[in-house]
Amino acid sequence: MNKPLLTLSGLTMRFGGISALEAVSFEVEEGKTTSVIGPNGAGKTTLFNCITGMYRPTSGQVSLRGEDITAAPAHRIARHGIARTFQNLALFGGLSVLDNLMTGAYLQGRSGLLQGAFLTPAARAERRAAEAAARETLAFLGMEDVADAAPAELSYGKQKQVEFARALMQNARLVLLDEPMAGMSKTEKTAMSGLIQRVKRERGITFLIVEHDIPVVMDLSDHIVVLDFGRKIADGLPEAVRQDPAVIAAYLGSDPHH
């Protein structure tokens, strides 16, 4: 096993009387795809929010390459090399695909979007670098043809791909994808799966994915963690998790659509 990139130890998050996460521990291996699955309300989104600094966990620890990053503010987590996409599309409708990707680069940049508007020489240089990086990312993903399109002109699946591309613009080593296949057709899911696999293989990026489509998850993941009512009930290779009686029981007792 490679060294863990991300380690969660005893992560607990309570909202009033609800335990959204209860002492969850697992490791995310560098250069692999780890997926978190579980019925509705299992705590998957809460887990992402704890990792990315949007929630401060009630107790427990998040560490990145051994460094404690628990409850660091979201912008610092981004600078640590963690990027994420959201469950619902979060693209800027008024910007082209290229400009949407460039906002991803600005999250890394020094002068920032606001100063960029005033076009100081430093901001201009940064803008040029961001545009080159955005074009390069689109080319790598085979999406150059949509650079000038507005997100609304694209199919839902393509928009999700743009969001994925924007997350890659942050030069993150760890990319968290929150339901990357939600609302997609089978063809779109296959395309997205292919992109994720290729980025992992060719760029060595580590993925942590929350996804409801179990066959897709089984196909895509090196490692699967199963949550149910905030607790980890299984953790292992896809084959082992698929046959785990506790996992089967958790899914049989839940909404058949998920």
Q: Is 158 in the site for ligand ATP (CB under 6 A)?
A: no
Q: Is 43 in the site for ligand ATP (CB under 6 A)?
A: yes
Per-residue tokens: 65: 């390459």
Rounded least distance, CB 169 to ligand ATP, Å? 25
Q: How many CB atoms lie within 10 A of CB 16?
A: 5
* Cβ atoms of residues 136 and 104 within 8 Å: no
Phi, psi for residue 79 in degrees, rounded to 5 = -70, -20
Helix (H) or strand (E) holding 133: helix 121-140
Rounded least distance, CB 15 to ligand ATP, Å? 3
Q: Is 5 in the site for ligand ATP (CB under 6 A)?
A: no
Question: Which residues within the stretch 6-35 sit at the binding site for ligand ATP (CB under 6 A)?
Answer: 15, 18, 20
Sheet holding 67-68, edge to edge: 18-29, 4-15, 59-64, 67-68
Per-residue tokens: 30: 């560098």
Q: Is 232 in the site for ligand ATP (CB under 6 A)?
A: no
Q: Which amino acid makes up residue 79? A: R
Please pick, from the candidates 8, 11, 24, 42, the single residue that binds ligand ATP as defined by CB under 6 A. Answer: 42
Per-residue tokens: 173: 């080593």
Rounded least distance, CB 39 to ligand ATP, Å? 7
Please pick, from the candidates 38, 57, 60, 180, the single residue that binds ligand ATP as defined by CB under 6 A. Answer: 38
Q: With CB under 6 A as the contact rule, which of the stretches 44-52, 129-137, 146-154, 249-257 interacts with ligand ATP?
A: 44-52
Where do contacts with ligand ATP occur on this chain (CB under 6 A)? 15, 18, 20, 38, 40-46
